[in-house]
Amino acid sequence: MTRTRIAWPSAAAVRAGAALGLWLAAGAARAEAGPGILHQMNDAMARLAERVTPAVVQIQVSGFRPAGPGGRVESALVSRQHAVGSGVIVDPDGYILTNSHVVHGAQRIQVLLPPPPAPGSPGGEEAGQRLFDARVIGAEPNADLALLKIEARNLPTLSLRTATPVRQGELVFAIGSPEGLTRTMTMGIVGAVARPVEADQPMVFIQTDAPINPGNSGGPLVNVDGALVGINTFILSESGGSQGLGFAIPAAMVQLVYDGLRKDGHVHRIELGLATESINATLAAALGLPRDWGVLVSDVALGGAARAAGVEIGDVIESFDGRPIDSAAAMTTAWYLHRPGEPATLVLHRGGRHLTVKVEAREVTRPADLAELASPETSLVRRLGILGVDVSPRLQGVISGLRVGTGVVVAARTLDATGVDSGLQPGDVIHAVNRTAVESLADLRQVLRTIKAGQPVALQIEREGKMAYLAFEME
C-alpha cells in the first residue's frame, strides 16, 4: 500500500486557497442566477420558433430534373425525380418564395403547409398539415429565386419589408425541411454579410454557419427578431452535408426580385454592353487605381451601348444612377433597380478625373432554355429517351440558322430505362426517321409506333448546321 505524506500548506498556498474559495463562492452565485438567464434564452428561442415556423412551408416537386453532378440545372441529362425543398409565405393570399433551382423542370409542385395552431397541442405536431398544388408565377434563375402561388387565404407570413441590414457576428436561424424534416430550425452566426462565391459572378451572399442541409433550399434565414434577412440557397460541402458554410440570398435582393416577379412574372434586366469585376489591393496596385475597393470595367462590348457612350476598359465606376458603387453587390442592386428604356447615368474615374456618361439601357430578352420549353407532360418521347420540342418561333435565340423550318428539337435526354441509346444530343433537330419526314412531335411519335423492337432505325438530324444520320436498332 502506498502511503501519502500530508504537509501543511504554505502561506502562498493559503492565499491561493482563499482566492479559490472566493472564486467558487462567486461561481455559486452565478450558478444561482444562471438558470434564470438560460430559461430566458430558452423561452425567447421557443417564442421565435412559434412566430416564424408557421410561415415556412415544405415544397414537394416531381418531374424531369437535371441528373448531372449536384443536380446542376445546366446538365444535359434529365431523369424523373422527386425532390423536397422549402419556401416562405410572403403574402397571406398564398404567394410563396423559394429557390428557382427547387422548382426547375417541375411537372408537379405541391406545398405542404404547417398545421394551424391548436391550443395545448405539443410542439412539432404534424397532424392536420395541408397539401396544395402550386403554380409558378415567375422565376429569376440569375438570383435563384422563384415565386409560387397556392389557392389559400389568410396565411401567416414573413414580411420582406421589415428586414434590417444584417451584421457580421449576428445570431441567425435557418428554418426549412432538411432531408424532408419539416419545420426544422438551426442556429448560427453571420460569417460574412456580402460574400462573393465566384469571382466572375456579381451576386453576393450572406454566409452563415447555421447548419443547412439538402431540403433547406428556399427557406428563410431570420434574425433574433424573426425578421427575414435572407433566403437559404446552397452550401459548400465535400460530404453533401453541413460543414458550416451556408449561403443565403440577401433580403434586399429578394425584395427586388419579388417585386418584379409579382408584378410582371419576370424581372426586368438591362444590358449595357460592359463587364465589371471587383477591385482588390493587388489589382489596384498593379493598375495604379485610385482605391483598392470598388468596381472596375473589365470589358466593353464591340458595338454595345457602353462603348458608344465612351466607357473604356479600366474605368472605375464611382456611381450608377446616383447610387455609390463600392462593391459588386452595389452594382448588382443598381442594375436590377434601373428601369429599362431609360439611360443609365454612370460616373467614372479615369486617369485622375471624373467623367459622367449616359448609357442606353436595353432590356435583356433572355432566350428560353430548351429544358424550360419542354413540358414533361407533352414532350417526352420514351422510345428515344428524350424530351422534344417542335421547331417554332419560340426557339429564336436558342437555335439559330436552321436549314429546315420544321422538325423536333431535342431539349434533353432522359435516363429512363425505356429509352434507346440513339446518340442524340440536346440541340439536335430530328428531320426524318427511316426516310419518313418528321415535322412535329406528333409525326415523330406516329412513325416510332410503326417500328418494332430489333428493327433498324436511321434518324436524319441537323446538328450545329450540318445534316447527319444516326443509326441504331430499336429496343
Distance CA 331, CA 464 (A): 36
> Is 144 annotated in the active site?
yes
C-alpha closest to that of 152 among 91, 210, 72, 73: 91
Of 189, 225, 221, 223, the residue nearest 208 (C-alpha): 189
Query: Are 34 and 28 a contacting pair, CB within 8 Å?
Result: no
> Which residues, 6+ apart, have CB-to-CB distance to 97 below 8 Å?
87, 88, 90, 145, 146, 147, 148, 218, 231, 254, 258
Q: Where are the beta strands (DSSP E) in 122-179?
A: 130-140, 145-149, 171-176
Rounded Cα distance, 233 and 212, in Å? 9
Amino acid letter, 150: I
Q: Which of 177, 217, 327, 422 is catalytic?
A: 217
Say which of 101, 338, 349, 431 is annotated catalytic. Answer: 101
217 catalytic residue (yes or no): yes
DSSP assignment of 352-412 equals TEEEEEEE--EEP-PPPPHHHH--HHHHEETTTTEEEEE--GGGTTTS---SSS-SEEEEE
The DSSP code sequence of 222-273 is E-TT--EEEEEEEE--SSSS--S-EEEEEHHHHHHHHHHHHHHSS---EE-S
Active site residue: 75, 100, 104, 144, which one? 144
Q: What cell numbers appear for 87 in the block?
A: 419556401
Contact 165, 194 (CB under 8 A): no
Could you give the residue numbers annotated as active site?
101, 144, 217
